[in-house]
A = this chain, B = another copy of it.
């Protein structure tokens, strides 16, 4: 019986090994953050030596930036695809996003922990998160404005302010959802979102499908 074992020194194709490394690093960084994670820690998870790891990513900073960048790309692709197939309201869209996140605790924790750490200007992901939050707020504010024009959201609300507020709410709920006992992140978000919908308006009929 042949078994695929983790053999020391096994030579793997470049891209495959790099994928392994990104996965292991995402795990490690999500648990202990940038400072709390050692390269040896990541290397062990992959089943490779520490210099073997550094062959693929020249240093720790490059590694975490690669992890964050890759997850970001993945998310961007997802968001783009949901936009293309239908025209979800902000409520439906954020609801879908939350449900998706509810299946990815490791990813959520990676962002929660790293975003907080990155407040330090010397943190390798400092600029990454500053840019990321600006971008997210801008995109969300635009979607809010569109919804207001379509009567799906109260037009009295300030789009920019509401965007920041909704991002804040999701971030904060994620933190409490990751704790023991966990709060019901998605239920709470949806309740909050419902309060923003004008009395007459019902859901858009364009709910975003879940494709976990």
**Partner-binding segment picked from A57-65, A80-88, A108-116, A145-153:** A108-116
Residue of B nearest to A192 (CB): B165
Determine if A119 and B130 form an interchain contact, defined as CB atoms under 8 angstroms apart. Answer: no
Q: Are B172 and A36 in contact (CB under 8 A)?
A: no
With A109-B119, A116-B113, A117-B113 given, is the CB distance from A173 to B168 under 8 Å?
Answer: yes
Q: Say how far A171's CB is from chain B's closest CB, in angstroms.
A: 4
A196 to chain B: closest residue by CB: B195
Name the residue on B nearest A180 (C-beta): B130
Confirm or deny: A179 has a beta carbon within 8 angstroms of a beta carbon on chain B. Answer: yes
B-chain residues with CB within 8 Å of residue A167 when the two chains form the complex: 172, 176
Which chain B residues border A172 with CB–CB below 8 Å?
A: 167-172
Q: Mask for A125-153, Cβ within 8 A of B = 1, else 0? A: 00001100110000000000000000000
Which residues of B have CB within 8 Å of A171?
168, 171-172, 175
Q: A168, B181: Cβ atoms under 8 Å?
A: no
Interchain CB contact under 8 A, B191 and A161: yes
Chain B residues with CB under 8 Å of A120's CB are 31-33, 36
Q: Taking the complex as formed, is A158 at the interface, i.e. its CB lies under 8 A from any CB of chain B? A: yes
Closest to A187 in B: B161
Q: How far is the CA of A168 from the CA of B134 in the complex (A)?
A: 20
- When A and B form their complex, which 8 residue pairs have the shortest distance between CB atoms, in order from nearest? A168-B172, A35-B36, A116-B116, A172-B172, A35-B35, A171-B172, A168-B173, A164-B183
